[in-house]
Structure 1
Amino acid sequence: MTLSRRHVIAGGLAAGTIASTSAVASASPATSLLIATRPLRVSPFALGVASGDPTPTGVVLWTRLAIEPLAEDGRGGMGTRDRQVQWQVADNPQMRRPVDRGTVRARAADAHAVHVEVDGLRPGREYWYRFRVDGHLSPIGRTRTAPARHEMPSALAMSFASCSNWEAGFFTAYRYLADDQPDLVLHLGDYQYEGKGKAAAVRTHAGDETVTLAGYRLRHSQYKTDPDLQLAHAIAPWLVVWDDHEVDNNWAAGVPQDLKAPEWNDTPERFLARRANAFRAYYENMPLRRSSIPNGPDMRIFRRLGWGRLANFHMLDTRQYRDDQACGDGWDTNCGEALDPSRTITGDRQEAWLRDGFERSRARWDFLGQQVFFTTRDGKQPAEELHTSNDSWDGYAGSRDRVTRAWQDAAVRNPVVLTGDVHKHWAADIKTDYADPDSRVIGTELVTTSITSGGDGDAAWSDPIMAWNPHLKYSANQRGYVRTTVTPDGLRADFRSLDKVTTRGSAIRTAASFEVEDGQRGLRQVG
């Protein structure tokens, strides 16, 4: 079978030994002295393939071997010995005349995950890749390199998604995202959820709440078995960042949601051990570079990717370095602590890194790929007290002010914030003063709804908060993702919404579309 440009289908890989030409990252310094020699009787590619973090000359290729994806120990039934994995990259979907190939060691210590950092490719090109173990062939993945830094591409097709809860429904939105054949996919957090399986769920999580390394590995494995998610990973390179549910709901730096029983959250030390387990499993299951290899409970995922002179993507981490939430984790009325200018959601180092990126940017568009709502959402009418979510940037008003001042000081041409987390579509103008409806628009925020979290939703839903916050231009309460087309002249965002996620294969539609013109701040609804 061959690969079409529409979907990823299994293909063949030439027999014979392939020499290694690329370095491979490992999450663990430990390496087994033994390599398994007994051939596998079944294919170990039950978790699919993925690519990520493209540069003009390279990309990360990922797979993780598993013959029993739901094995309770999280090792996928692969045993305690390492395996040799061959990989291959070609410039055609039939995989003829490979342009690069190699052999990589899948370490048992890393749950047999592999990360191949391919380099030496041509800028702005499509490539196809696959893996082989003992004659078993992986699906073929489609990826691409970023344009050369001096080039101005005519267009970029970029989609972004968030919040895929296995128990809340089927991942049909990922299949539609794959059908669009984007050049790049951003996942903005809550890739998987930590909760224990619920009997009333659409489909049930395997195992208990994720705490141990085995538990987190098992949860990632279960999600990766979904065929729609596998298609979305195999159609384009991904840029991924986490939010909270990859570890624990509403965690902040070293603080869990609740410092109380059960035992894994009852002290900061126990929570950091849990966080280390979560980070290690996250790295093992994502197409990330060696710069993101975790060191215990620390892992750097904020990073920057350029797309020629068209766009910069500043990928943020708003969990690991933030101050604890003010006035509790949720919505609160008139929380003075949230207005403290010294509070931070990014940490000082990341904020300085972001400011430096703005100052150096010469891109037409600068995107902040991040997790939680950026613009203010006042849940009370203007005559009443301010009522906002303290888990969002509203709980860190000083951080938000510094970021918006930084892109104004740097004269960033077109700043756009991309957001997940809230399980609804939103579109908003970013203002200098949200209390003054006539204040200047300085940027745009686009918020994707969830893939499944929150269930089917309601097409007729209307939020009164829209009338009280005139900078909010659109909201909708169904599941889906956002599809964008970025050109030198403008940005178009299509808010894609599914009828249902509680049944597989539901229809999808574009519920609304907005445009932002180059140099013209403010959203305009179209279509």
Structure 2
Amino acid sequence: MEASPERPTGASLSRRLFVAGLGASAAAVSVPSLIRVDGAYAAAPSTGGSLPDGVFSLGVASGDPLPDGVVLWTRLAPDPLAGGGMPSRPYPVEWEVAEDDAFARVVRRGRTVALPQEGHSVHVEVDGLESGADYVYRFRAGGRISPVGRTRTAPAGAVSSGLRFAFASCQNWQDGYYTAYEALAAEDLDFVAFLGDYIYESVPRTTTVRTHEGTGEPVTLAEYRNRHAQYRSDPNLQAAHAAFPWIVTWDDHEVDNNWADEIPQDPDLQTPEAFRARREAAFQAYYEHMPLRRGARPRGLDLQLYRRLRFGDLVDLHVLDTRQYRSDQPATLEAASTDPSLTMTGEDQERWLVDGLTDGGTRWNLLANQVMWAQNDRTAGPEDTFDLDNWDGYRVQRRRLLELFGSGQVANPVVLTGDRHCTWVCDLEPDFDDPSAPVVGAEITGTSISSGGDSDPDAFQQTYRPIAAESPHWKFFDNQRGYVVCDVDGERMLSSLRLVDTVWQPSGATVRTAAEFVVEAGAPGVTVEFQEPPAVTQRAQARREAGPVYDVDDTEDLADVGR
């Protein structure tokens, strides 16, 4: 069924518009007596016994919206930082989806089993829903009821009302509170795209805003579970998950800084066997804590994460995985520029991406991407310095894909990127060193939620303004914390940079729209439509300087540089 041009307004969901009029055709489904576990049907336990308060301590989430359904997630964890605290046996969990806050109009319900081998996590794939519609959902287990989550299905067919979503990345627990999510949860969005570094694997430090659990970097499944559980315990993060469906992908810190396929950051300290075991543990814990479909369940060393979600005839969102299949980072810029064997995605994923970009099914092609595409020199003057962990290290493949962008076969490509802990807005060109190269697309690199802590914009601008004079494809850059909201319709994509004054207090930070960027359909490239006056930035910096000062656990490093 095609989405209605206007969202219905007849029902009452707190804060958000909600769908009305599904009527008798969406009658409630009875609880099944059989459930599907690992591809086979088994009888669901009739009761699991009572559970303590806090069994839903990690909240609820939804993800990967389709026109007729969505994934619902929770994890039973009454003692989240001690392995979860559940008995080592399967446990029944009931779920229901409704039209209204009071759950008087339930449209789908069922029962599943939370398995100990999956950390007692739950991934329910609900179907049979209306397209472009809002719903509420909740879980029951052991006599306890979860918090209520809200979700929205994808539109189908012609989309005349546009699409609104946010994207975010990089939320180091030790670097700051998730004050940006307090504001993000109050937006009205179709979905949130998270572009990587959901957790950080760094060791606990007591001089930062707050301290990682454990005694060192996570390596085992139990340790990764505890690290994910700590991050999931944040109330602002839980609120943002409960407010909208999320579409997630990873970068490096979910496993190990700057990992590449089966190669760790420090191969002299981690044997191949040890890193493979670590990768397998990290993948399993990641799946257990994300609202992913069961088809993404890890199989040994592999987890199928790259995928494509379509939003009617308006947007194809191509979700990339630039870690699991990539070549090791090159050692020199010469190798990065000339070696055709270097790949960020692997051959299969590149073929999948090209096929999806050129199928002509939608007005816009958006890439949910981890590391920066646009050339990003770090040194002013004749000497060039590049982070070769980014696409600057994989230039032959980058040029091949950017030439495809400019071939006329790809409708309105825009790359959405995380990783940098900065906002960086750029035109994309096949050859950034050729002044005559055509502009073939746009990239909006979003800043971090907390990584890097409270920043110093003045020092940042002083560093990069001289380099910007030599980089005409850069249109905007800033290093304050926040997220980006994107409004897309048939004619243009407007991206609004939301910044918070500080991440060094747990709540109440001021959020503001600091800049707006526009990509016009049929006109490759991006323009800055609005930028806040310097006085506003200076006032925000003064408020930061008046507050507490902490060490920073994570900065956007140059571990892999080339000249």
**Matched residues in 1 for 2:392 and 2:33: separation?**
48
Give the CA deviation at 1:33: 10
Is 1:105 the equivalent of 2:105?
no
**Matched residues in 2 for 1:425 and 1:184: separation?**
20
Is 1:299 the equivalent of 2:303?
yes
TM-score, structure 1 as length reference = 0.91
Quote the residue 1:114 is aligned against.
122
Say which SS state the counterpart of residue 349 (structure 2) adopts.
helix
**Matched residues in 2 for 1:17 and 1:120: separation?**
10
Contact kept, 8 Å, 2:191 with 2:245, in 1: the verdict is: yes
Change over 3 Å in CA distance of 1:68–1:17 after alignment to 2: farther
Aligned counterparts, 1:167-182, within 5 A: 167-182=174-189
Quote the residue 1:369 is aligned against.
368
Is 1:486 the equivalent of 2:488?
yes
Quote the residue 1:211 is aligned against.
219
Quote the residue 1:57 is aligned against.
68
Quote the residue 1:452 is aligned against.
450
Change over 3 Å in CA distance of 1:59–1:34 after alignment to 2: closer
Give the CA deviation at 1:93: 2.7
Quote the residue 1:341 is aligned against.
340
Quote the residue 1:399 is aligned against.
397
Aligned counterparts, 1:53-452, within 5 A: 53-71=64-82, 74=83, 76-148=84-156, 150-207=157-214, 208-261=216-269, 265=270, 267-327=271-331, 334-381=333-380, 384-409=382-407, 411-452=409-450
**Matched residues in 2 for 1:25 and 1:183: separation?**
30
Match of 2:479 among 477, 480, 483: 477
Give the CA deviation at 1:179: 0.9
Change over 3 Å in CA distance of 1:390–1:178 after alignment to 2: same
Say which SS state the counterpart of residue 223 (structure 1) adopts.
helix
**Matched residues in 2 for 1:481 and 1:288: separation?**
22
Say which SS state the counterpart of residue 116 (structure 1) adopts.
strand
Change over 3 Å in CA distance of 1:336–1:147 after alignment to 2: same
Quote the residue 2:524 is aligned against.
521
Where does structure 1 lack aligned partners over 5 or more consecutive residues?
A: 9-15
Give the CA deviation at 1:51: 0.5
**Matched residues in 2 for 1:41 and 1:356: separation?**
50
* 1:495 partner letter: L
Give the CA deviation at 1:92: 2.2
Change over 3 Å in CA distance of 1:17–1:360 after alignment to 2: closer
**Matched residues in 1 for 2:421 and 2:338: separation?**
25
Q: Deviation per CA, 1:420-469, whole angstroms, max 9, x where unpaired?
A: 00100110000132113343111000011111000101233302322221
Give the CA deviation at 1:7: 12
Change over 3 Å in CA distance of 1:411–1:259 after alignment to 2: same
Contact kept, 8 Å, 2:80 with 2:229, in 1: the verdict is: yes
Quote the residue 1:13 is aligned against.
none
Say which SS state the counterpart of residue 181 (structure 2) adopts.
helix
Say which SS state the counterpart of residue 357 (structure 2) adopts.
helix
Contact kept, 8 Å, 1:427 with 1:472, in 2: the verdict is: yes
* 2:315 partner letter: A
Contact kept, 8 Å, 2:29 with 2:107, in 1: the verdict is: no
**Matched residues in 1 for 2:392 and 2:36: separation?**
40
* 1:101 partner letter: R
Change over 3 Å in CA distance of 1:348–1:389 after alignment to 2: same
Quote the residue 1:12 is aligned against.
none
Contact kept, 8 Å, 2:29 with 2:108, in 1: the verdict is: no
**Matched residues in 2 for 1:257 and 1:411: separation?**
37
Quote the residue 2:15 is aligned against.
5
Change over 3 Å in CA distance of 1:427–1:29 after alignment to 2: farther
**Matched residues in 1 for 2:33 and 2:132: separation?**
21
Q: Deviation per CA, 1:138-195, whole angstroms, max 9, x where unpaired?
A: 11111111111x2224211110000000000100111211111211100000000011
Give the CA deviation at 1:271: 0.4
Q: Deviation per CA, 1:53-75, whole angstroms, max 9, x where unpaired?
A: 1111111000001111111xx2x
**Matched residues in 1 for 2:208 and 2:43: separation?**
40
Change over 3 Å in CA distance of 1:227–1:22 after alignment to 2: farther
Higher mean C-alpha displacement, 496-505 vs 419-428: 496-505
**Matched residues in 2 for 1:33 and 1:58: separation?**
23
Quote the residue 2:7 is aligned against.
none
Contact kept, 8 Å, 1:7 with 1:178, in 2: the verdict is: no
**Matched residues in 2 for 1:510 and 1:315: separation?**
26
Contact kept, 8 Å, 2:35 with 2:113, in 1: the verdict is: no
**Matched residues in 2 for 1:185 and 1:391: separation?**
25
Give the CA deviation at 1:23: 6.8
Change over 3 Å in CA distance of 1:21–1:32 after alignment to 2: closer
Contact kept, 8 Å, 2:34 with 2:42, in 1: the verdict is: no
Give the CA deviation at 1:95: 1.9
**Matched residues in 1 for 2:420 and 2:501: separation?**
18
**Matched residues in 2 for 1:268 and 1:65: separation?**
33
**Matched residues in 2 for 1:47 and 1:411: separation?**
44
* 1:107 partner letter: L
**Matched residues in 1 for 2:191 and 2:29: separation?**
32
Contact kept, 8 Å, 2:137 with 2:150, in 1: the verdict is: yes
Give the CA deviation at 1:21: 9.3
TM-score, structure 2 as length reference = 0.85
Quote the residue 1:500 is aligned against.
502
Contact kept, 8 Å, 1:158 with 1:183, in 2: the verdict is: yes
* 1:270 partner letter: A
Say which SS state the counterpart of residue 179 (structure 1) adopts.
coil
* 2:353 partner letter: L
Contact kept, 8 Å, 2:34 with 2:41, in 1: the verdict is: no
Where does structure 2 lack aligned partners over 5 or more consecutive residues?
A: 1-11, 19-27, 531-563
Alignment coverage as a number of residue pairs: 504
Give the CA deviation at 1:203: 0.5
Say which SS state the counterpart of residue 86 (structure 1) adopts.
strand
Contact kept, 8 Å, 1:358 with 1:410, in 2: the verdict is: no
Contact kept, 8 Å, 1:152 with 1:309, in 2: the verdict is: yes
**Matched residues in 2 for 1:34 and 1:274: separation?**
33
**Matched residues in 2 for 1:513 and 1:291: separation?**
37
